[in-house]
Amino acid sequence: MRREGRTRRAGQVFDREKIYERIWGYDAEGSSDILKEHIRRIRAKLARVTDREYIEMVWVRLQMGKLRDMTLRKTFYLIVSATAGIVLLLSAVSVRACSRIHDRITLSHAFLMNAAVVEHGDGGYYIMDTGPESMGDAEDAENAPVEFTGRELWLCRMTEALMVVLPIFFSGLGIVCAGTCFYRVKLKEPLAALKQGISHIAENDLDFTMGYEKRDELGELCRAFETMRGELVKNNRYMWGLVEERKRINASIAHDLRTPITVIKGYSEYLDRNAGKENLTGEGTREIAGYINQAAVRLEEYADSVREVQALEDMRLEYREVFLGSFLEEMRAQLSVMAEQNGKEICLCANLPERAVALSAVAVFRIMENIVDNALRYCRERIEVEISFAAPFLTIAVTDDGKGFSERERREATDYFYKGKMEGRKKRHFGIGLTICRILAQKHGGAILLDNAPESGARVTVKIKIQESSPL
């Protein structure tokens, strides 16, 4: 059981208190020497069967982890302070050791007041007192020359030099060590991650993540870099979506323009072949001119619809403060006019608070008009319009009693110039109504959803993000 427990806790860190608590209980007291001996024996047993280190002392790793999470300023001050303390300690110890060696040699000759080094003929050196009292009394025993060996003089000079050189050496070594430690602890990993990320972006490769998650300034920089990468991915996807959408628009335009162009071309060729012939009467010519005119009008309307969609994509919404109560009354009046013009019943159900909000009324009314106009095209007798508000979204749901959306229509009805199967029997249009709703809803921070009602009929739901001003 204990072996299984250790296996289940692989990778976890336990301090001595936790180990005592797990083995002996909350109130137990244990000796750290006993714990060390047990761990030593376990390591020895594991070493007989594997080279892997299963039990590891992680104090240093934990302290390094804490150091990596500190801010750059605190880490710099801490490393510099620790290095300065070590340098001062080493300098003091080395100077003290050199001073003791120097004093041990010179204190044995401390009775000489004015010493001078005199070379002896046998290769030795003497220390002579050069004071004025000693100049005329060379035979005095107290002023007799004291001999120093060459090794003692070398040690004296060496220790004097080391007392100056060693503090300088330790200071330089401390600067190098502090810089290396600061670089390895705080700079190496994030700089490598940033360099790798920049290389990926330079190669147009955004399929990577920044792996540096520390909580210092460079960690914030890496997180900002990751945020930028995510935004670039979103923008690239958006741009690719626009490219694909443009392709679909061009294909749709080419398809829809083919019919009127074919009509104009066919009748033009007919007129060219039969000009001046008896079978081309005045009445026939006027009829052909009418067909050509209808095709030209169709082309003009189609060009206008393309320009309208392009203008919507480039349009900037103008927000203004609107009271939801008056906004609802205006919408109710507009729906009444649309119901009367089409001979259908439009039922409005709304639950809006008396609150002022900031929105683009022009965009919202146009969204509502296009959704209701699309529902009028497919409904039998009745349309239900539900308007609700749940901060921060205003929701408009339009349900008709028609046959509902097919699976293809649910996927493609908001695409550019999409036309359903019933278009041949209904009023002519270019299939951009729901496209306009989608564009305006997205510009307003919302979205459009196509679905079918539980009973029957199609349901179009638009959510529009608005900003609250203040309650009345």
pLDDT of residue 92: 94
pLDDT of residue 81: 92
Q: How confident is the model at residue 139 (pLDDT cuts 50, 70, 90)?
A: very low
pLDDT of residue 2: 44
pLDDT exceeds cutoff 80 at 198? yes
Distance, CA of 207 to chain centre: 13
Question: Does the domain spanning 315-471 belong to CATH 3.30.565.10?
Answer: yes
pLDDT of residue 17: 61
Predicted confidence (pLDDT) per residue in 43-71, tens digit: 777 777 776 666 655 544 545 556 667 88
Q: Whose CA is closest to 204, among 180, 243, 181, 232?
A: 232
Predicted confidence (pLDDT) per residue in 262-301, tens digit: 878 887 887 777 776 766 777 777 888 888 888 887 777 7
Q: How confident is the model at residue 368 (pLDDT cuts 50, 70, 90)?
A: confident
**What percent of the chain lies above the pLDDT cut of 90?**
9
Q: What is the mean pLDDT of the chain?
A: 76
Q: Whose CA is closest to 387, among 313, 334, 341, 434?
A: 334
What pTM was estimated for this model as a whole?
0.49
Predicted confidence (pLDDT) per residue in 434-453, tens digit: 888 888 888 888 888 888 88
CATH code 3.30.565.10 region(s) in the chain: 315-471
pLDDT of residue 472: 42
CATH code 1.10.287 region(s) in the chain: 218-311
pLDDT of residue 95: 92
Domain 218-311, CATH: 1.10.287
pLDDT, mean of residues 169-187 = 91
Predicted confidence (pLDDT) per residue in 317-330, tens digit: 788 888 888 888 88
More confident residue, 311 or 154: 154
